[in-house]
Amino acid sequence: MEKVILARIGEIALKGLNRKNFENKLASNMRKAMKDCGEFVINWSQSRFFIEGKDNFDIDKAVEKLTKVFGIVSVSVATCVENDMEEIKKAAHHVVEKKLGNEAMTFKVEAKRGNKSFHLKSPEICNELGAYVLKNFSHSVKVDVNNPDFIVFVEVREKSYVYTDIVEGHRGMPVGSNGKGCLLLSGGIDSPVAGYMVAKRGVELVCVHYHSYPYTSERAKGKVIDLAEILASYCGTIKLYIVPFTDIQLEINKRCEQSYGTIIMRRSMMRLAEKIARHTGCMALVTGESVGQVASQTMHALYCTDNAVNMPVFRPLIGMDKTEVIDIARKIDTYETSILPYEDCCTIFTPKHPKTRPNLDDVLKQEERVDFEVLEKEAFDSMELVVVE
């Protein structure tokens, strides 16, 4: 009996005339995600995608990859047979046998008859198949329609699909269906989560990291590449730009008042990110800021950083507190990498008493002391590109 992966889509199914574009994008993203899983063919109709593998297809690995593709709501491995009740029974026998352990279990059957030419109606399929399973596994199963241990799902379409398990995906929209955004990726807990949330809405990510060697180490840079790799497992290939930032920090530290150091540094980071965004065709910046979390993320500080650029700045974590962010970081598997101790190791540039309510006019006046145009051009010209798969 043939095994097929069923992938369900959510939001895309609600799209109108441009639905095709979303579906094509999703199929292309699915192909990329499964490129190391062997040969396969993808078909789709209505709100289902069907992946049929060849002999060398690693179905378990493919399921794992697919659940991370944005746009997919859930995935099941189904046994696929012709639209024939005897065949469907055989398939059900197969999946139930696999499901059963040593303990007795309760079950029910849920049928969906998409193909109205099939001679039995959904409740009739349930009845007949339920009776069949009960008879064939009389020692180990009982019916419980309210709270069963497992459900035998049957979908009658062009062919019939029988399965028991549904693996949740990350939902969202296919990456690339919603333009490009430029993520400021620090290596902390927040920014990878911010990137994940925006990518989930179909935005392709370009990442920027500021490197202050020797004040931060090569390991800190390696850690950011690791984080970009985890993000790439959701959103495909990521371009990561690593910008040498030491000279800018040294100049700020030398010429500006200590308490303004952080806000001026952040403005410079935003300007550079905007430059990279325009260079790579991004239409927005993305940051992991959350209002009030630290001195540089107060309302006043955000007002000052926003003022540095002429582009929308998306801050998907703006209303979240740390534990909520950590929950997502754990879910998407970036947390353990984010908490490695390299980043922020040398807080040499952090002022003891940063301004929590910086005034924009004062910030602009302080900024005049440093020739940012020249320094930022130098930094931009010497940035390094890492393509992360």
Residues of this chain that interact with other proteins (CB under 8 A) are 213-218, 250, 253-254, 341, 345-348, 350
* Least distance to other proteins, CB of residue 250, Å: 5
Specify the residue, 319 or 341, whose C-beta has the smaller distance to other proteins: 341
Specify the residue, 108 or 209, whose C-beta has the smaller distance to other proteins: 209
* Least distance to other proteins, CB of residue 287, Å: 23
* Least distance to other proteins, CB of residue 322, Å: 17
Specify the residue, 115 or 382, whose C-beta has the smaller distance to other proteins: 382
Specify the residue, 56 or 347, whose C-beta has the smaller distance to other proteins: 347
Cβ neighbours around 106 below 10 Å, total: 14
* Least distance to other proteins, CB of residue 70, Å: 36
* Least distance to other proteins, CB of residue 219, Å: 10
Say which amino acid occupies 111: A
Specify the residue, 83 or 350, whose C-beta has the smaller distance to other proteins: 350
Q: Are 292 and 302 in contact (CB under 8 A)?
A: no
Q: Are 184 and 191 in contact (CB under 8 A)?
A: yes
Specify the residue, 28 or 350, whose C-beta has the smaller distance to other proteins: 350
Specify the residue, 209 or 275, whose C-beta has the smaller distance to other proteins: 209
* Least distance to other proteins, CB of residue 223, Å: 15
Query: Any idea which residue has 């046998």 for tokens?
Result: 97
Q: Which among 74, 70, 75 has a CA at the least distance from the CA of 172?
A: 70
Residue 138, Cα to own-chain centre: how many angstroms? 44
Angle at 160 between CA 156 and CA 162, to 5 degrees: 105
Specify the residue, 57 or 210, whose C-beta has the smaller distance to other proteins: 210
* Least distance to other proteins, CB of residue 304, Å: 24
* Least distance to other proteins, CB of residue 345, Å: 6
Specify the residue, 133 or 220, whose C-beta has the smaller distance to other proteins: 220
* Least distance to other proteins, CB of residue 254, Å: 7
Angle at 31 between CA 25 and CA 37, to 5 degrees: 160
